[in-house]
Structure 1
Amino acid sequence: MTRSEARREDAPPASAETPHYHGHRERLRDRFRKAGAEGLADYELLELILFRAMPRRDVKPLAKALIARFGSFAETVSARPERLAEIEGLGEAAIVEIKIVEAAARCLAKSSIQKRSSMSSFAAVIDYCRTAMAFLDREEFRILFLDKKNFLIADEVQGVGTIDQAPVYPREIMRRALELSASALILVHNHPSGDPEPSTEDIYMTHQIIAIAKPLNIAVHDHLIIGKHGHASLKSMRLI
């Protein structure tokens, strides 16, 4: 066997050449650079995230599987890690990349209300709450604690529950408000069903909290209910 023949035998087969998806990755990145997120489908945005965690794999089928399971890009990045892990082929590194995107979105939304009066930037409050809660698959009850000038002191989750309820303890909320020297609260919870219409229980619980807060000179500015398809404000609905 000549030396040139040996080199030909040692060369990788055609199938081992640069994988077909490498060109696809660069084309997709180029489209994102030129058109932004609006120019890409939800599964393509997920591909961009998965590229970092899976450099040697065609991730388009996996991205499409995620959208098929969870419904959208927003619902995918909001999904709990244990639910993401149910998708065959999605490893820990990829799940971490997805959750980093969710964390970044929350930080950006929260920054818009941290240095301004929450009541003067109500649209930003809604945007933040929707980013944080609209696509969760379990009900979550959170409190925005405000100072005398309605600037945000703290944003804390007070209870995480099931698909249709989360535990709420009014006296614990007041205890925490006093610890933080909060002068006002905005109550927020989500409806995983997507419908933000307040229930009778939501209204009753809100009035319970208001009754306990009033003697302590703590105002309850609003109770927001967040859903996939919008939000409801008990104050705007004149229910408080």
Structure 2
Amino acid sequence: MSGTPKPHYHGHRARLRSRLLEHGGDVLPDYELLELIIFRALPQGDVKPIAKNLLARFGSLPEVIAAPPALLQEEPGVGPAIVAELKVVEAAVRRFTRGVVSKRPVLSSWTSVLDYCRTTMAFLNVEQFRLLFFDKRNALIADEVQQSGTVDHTPVYPREVVRRALELSATALILVHNHPSGDPTPSSADIRMTREIIEVAKPLGITIHDHIIIGRNGHTSLRELKLI
């Protein structure tokens, strides 16, 4: 009916899209960017409460996007459609950052390598050990998850790491793993394991550029700390 009051969010979607296109995403707070993602899953209605609840639960936009589907769906109003939209964004971001890394020699694009590692691993809720393999020009030739473990432990076998490098004809590696606790400080086990891999790899002409530990609160480089 013409006399029916319009809902308070009437026109909100069009205004958000207009601001995004005119001024870019940097002018929008996290909850509005999240609303724009959710719009595709829920064609009608007010999604601001859902966006704000997700941010309150997980802490930030990156953490919402990277959250496990089962945890996301614990929030009221969040179903498979919203989860799918979030996971599309997550996959796109990972491919974008990986594409930047793969097109440049690693030693001249270190910031891009760190961005990729943080994007891929910072918000995982279990430990994951990832290997970045490089050729003799230090170009990325493969990126593989070697092991996944529990919230505080991932078994890593130095000979398996080196065996895989030989299979790929890689001449250098970067080791990466995350600390779900958020603190990227290396443990004595992290340091010992890295040195064991270096000992096995060196006689075969394989260089370990670094071991990067990723946490929600930043990263640590064993090379920068002069631990390797």
Q: TM-score, normalised by structure 2?
A: 0.94
Unaligned runs of 5+ in 2: none
Letter in 1 for 2:135: D
- Equivalents in 1 of 2:150, 2:85: separation in Å? 26
1:1-57 residue CA offsets vs partner (Å, 9 max, x unmatched): xxxxxxxxxx59826xx6443411111112222332221221111100000000022
Taking a change above 3 Å as real, the CA distance of residues 175 and 12 of structure 1, as seen in their structure-2 partners, is: farther
Structure 1 outlier segments of 4+, above 3 Å: none
- Equivalents in 2 of 1:22, 1:158: separation in Å? 49
Aligned partner of 1:21 in structure 2 is: 9
Please say which of residues 86-95 and 197-206 is displaced more in the overlay.
Answer: 86-95
Say whether residues 1:187 and 2:199 are aligned partners: no
SS in 2 for 1:56: coil
Aligned partner of 1:90 in structure 2 is: 78
SS in 2 for 1:116: coil
Aligned partner of 2:129 in structure 1 is: 141
Q: TM-score, normalised by structure 1?
A: 0.89
Say whether residues 1:227 and 2:227 are aligned partners: no
Please say which of residues 69-78 and 88-97 is displaced more in the overlay.
Answer: 88-97
Aligned partner of 1:211 in structure 2 is: 199
Report the Cα offset of residue 168 of structure 1. Answer: 1.4
Report the Cα offset of residue 71 of structure 1. Answer: 0.5
- Equivalents in 1 of 2:35, 2:143: separation in Å? 32
- Equivalents in 1 of 2:161, 2:167: separation in Å? 10
- Written as runs of structure 1 = structure 2, the 5 A alignment for 1:1-240 is 14=4, 19-240=7-228
SS in 2 for 1:67: helix
Please say which of residues 222-231 and 64-73 is displaced more in the overlay.
Answer: 222-231
Report the Cα offset of residue 87 of structure 1. Answer: 1.6
Report the Cα offset of residue 234 of structure 1. Answer: 0.6
- Equivalents in 1 of 2:11, 2:212: separation in Å? 46
1:73-128 residue CA offsets vs partner (Å, 9 max, x unmatched): 01000111122122222111111100111111111111111111112211111111
Letter in 2 for 1:148: K
- Equivalents in 2 of 1:22, 1:55: separation in Å? 13
Unaligned runs of 5+ in 1: 1-10
Query: What is the percentage of aligned positions where both structures have the same residue?
Result: 60
Q: How many residues are paired up?
A: 228
